[in-house]
């Protein structure tokens, strides 16, 4: 019998998220709301639909493996050289390529925890040690929901090849500010690559939350990850990119790239999306306004919700997380529980968020022991 590597055997099996149509059928309602995956609720941009339709006529050919047109458009947009950019089939693919390019057994990857669930898995697959630095309270007396950059710095040793800083952090939505991040970057040894995962950058409204691509300049051991999946509305097409100060970082990632893994449709869609940036900005502003409305509504209900700089909010309900998400699901609202920690709720369209709030109220009213979730 053949068997995979022990590290792979030990990985959890993939569990797909609930599909809203299946859930609606199962519980006998017209429609369920999905607020579980941090997608935007807007339909694809008109320019994207057009570009994908046009590109569909050429799909008998392989895509451009170097994504030359997209890379040039990104280089212009961000004021960097094309050699500083690597594209990937979603930013998660770039995370994996970074791990392949920079780690091997005996080395380590450091990151905050709780953070993006991919980080420990990609360390495990790469055979590198995952060094997890617990979050700390962002507000006095509040739950542990914010990066501890001093702790992260202290955890770096001469085996640490990569450090992921997810800013804003998934799933808590909190963000680190400019001064503390600059201090951290200045102190990290030059042999450790800091990857600023900015999947939610476009939703940031606090001017004190730094743009990683600006912080990266002059720092050869810093790279930034961005994606078209969230603000740009291309989650279903799979395309993200890395921007590095040192072109050698982008080159190392390109060397581990799975050939042709950014499809022709994804490349065409991303190029088209970049031409619609004004509309994307309007959409992000609407999401940020809705995020503030949702946050206030939750606080009015007594929930201790941190300020989010992303397109989701975090309910730090601890041990009640799985129960709360299950009860919401029974009322046709799909959220993302992290057992024992909290529930992440994507900011949806206003009517979706109202459906969530109504379900939350009903769940809290109907609790047998009468204790509110908090």
Q: Specify the residue, 116 or 373, whose C-beta has the smaller distance to ligand PLP.
A: 116
With CB under 6 A as the contact rule, the residue among 51, 156, 166, 343 that binds ligand PLP is: 166
Tell me, what DSSP letter sits at residue 174?
-
| φ/ψ (deg, to 5) at 259 | -50, 135
Give the x/- contact pattern for ligand PLP in 38-57, rule: CB under 6 A: x-------------------
Residues 103, 108, 174, 227: which binds ligand PLP (CB under 6 A)?
227
Is the CB of 243 or the CB of 357 nearer to ligand PLP?
Answer: 243
Do the Cβ atoms of 83 and 251 come closer than 8 Å? yes
Residue selected from 103, 170, 308, 309 as contacting ligand PLP according to rule CB under 6 A: 170
Say whether residue 232 binds ligand PLP (CB under 6 A): no
Q: Within 13 Å, how many C-alpha atoms sit on residue 341's CB side?
A: 16
Answer whether 39's CB lies under 8 Å from 230's CB: yes
Residue with Cβ nearer ligand PLP (174 or 229): 229
Position 305 contacts ligand PLP (CB under 6 A)? no
Closest CA to 240 of 261, 255, 259, 219: 261
d(CA 316, CA 304): 7
- CB-based closest residue to ligand PLP: 90
Shortest spacing between CB 233 and ligand PLP, in angstroms:
11
Q: Which is nearer to ligand PLP, 227 or 335 (CB)?
A: 227
- Out of 199, 264, 303, 306, the only residue in the binding site for ligand PLP (CB under 6 A) is 199
Measuring CA to CA, which residue among 94, 136, 83 is closest to residue 114? Answer: 136
Where are the strands (E) in the chain, listed by range? 33-34, 85-88, 108-113, 129-134, 136-137, 144-146, 160-166, 193-197, 222-227, 240-244, 312-315, 333-334, 336-338, 342-346
Give the SS3 label for residue 299: helix
Contact map string, positions 111 to 150, toward ligand PLP, x by CB under 6 A: -----x----------------------------------
Task: Quote the least distance from Cβ 166 to ligand PLP, whole Å.
Answer: 5
Subset of residues 83 to 102 that bind ligand PLP, contact rule: CB under 6 A: 90-92
Of 99 and 357, nearer to ligand PLP (C-beta) is 99
Sign for the CA dihedral angle at 87, 171, 201, 268 comes to: positive
Do the beta carbons of residue 331 and residue 362 sit within 8 Å?
Answer: yes
Interface pick for ligand PLP out of 63, 212, 240, 348 (rule CB under 6 A): 240
Residue placing its CB nearer to ligand PLP in the complex, 91 or 101 = 91
Q: Based on DSSP, count helices (H) and strands (E) in the chain, helices before strands.
A: 14, 14
Q: Answer positive or negative: Cα dihedral of 303, 26, 11, 109.
A: negative
Contact set with ligand PLP (CB under 6 A): 38, 90-92, 116, 166, 170, 197, 199, 227, 229-230, 235, 240
């Amino acid at each position: 019998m053949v068997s995979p590597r022990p590290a792979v055997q030990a990985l959890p099996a993939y569990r797909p998220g609930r599909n809203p149509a299946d859930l609606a059928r199962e519980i006998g309602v017209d429609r369920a709301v999905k607020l579980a995956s941090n997608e935007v609720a807007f339909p694809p941009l008109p320019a994207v639909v057009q570009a994908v339709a046009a590109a569909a006529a050429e799909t008998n050919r392989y895509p451009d493996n170097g994504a030359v047109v997209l890379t040039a458009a990104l280089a212009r947009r961000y004021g960097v050289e094309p050699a500083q950019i690597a594209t990937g089939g979603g930013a998660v693919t770039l995370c994996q390529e970074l791990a392949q390019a920079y780690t091997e057994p005996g080395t380590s990857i450091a990151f905050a925890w709780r953070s993006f669930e991919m980080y420990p898995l990609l360390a495990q697959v790469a055979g590198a040690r995952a060094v997890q630095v617990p979050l700390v309270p962002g507000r006095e007396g509040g739950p542990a929901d914010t990066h501890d950059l001093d702790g992260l710095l202290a955890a770096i040793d001469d085996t640490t090849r990569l450090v992921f800083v997810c800013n804003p952090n998934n799933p808590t939505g909190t963000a680190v500010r400019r001064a503390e991040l600059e201090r951290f970057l200045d102190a990290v040894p030059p042999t450790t690559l800091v990857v600023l995962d900015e999947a939610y950058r476009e939703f940031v409204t606090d001017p004190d939350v730094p743009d990683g691509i600006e912080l990266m300049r002059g720092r050869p051991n810093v790279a930034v990850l961005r994606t078209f999946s969230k603000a740009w509305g291309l989650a279903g097409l799979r395309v993200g990119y890395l921007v590095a100060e040192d072109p050698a970082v982008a080159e190392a990632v390109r060397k581990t790239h799975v050939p042709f893994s950014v499809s022709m449709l994804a490349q065409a869609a991303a190029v088209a999306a970049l031409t619609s940036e004004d509309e994307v900005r309007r959409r992000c502003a609407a999401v940020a306004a809705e995020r503030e409305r949702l946050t206030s509504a939750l606080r009015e209900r007594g929930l201790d919700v941190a300020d989010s700089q992303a397109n989701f909010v975090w309910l730090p309900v601890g041990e009640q997380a799985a129960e709360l998400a299950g009860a919401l699901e029974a009322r046709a609202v799909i959220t993302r529980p992290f057992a024992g920690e909290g529930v992440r709720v994507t900011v949806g369209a206003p009517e979706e968020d109202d459906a969530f709030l109504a379900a939350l109220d009903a769940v809290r009213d109907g609790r047998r022991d009468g204790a509110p979730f908090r």
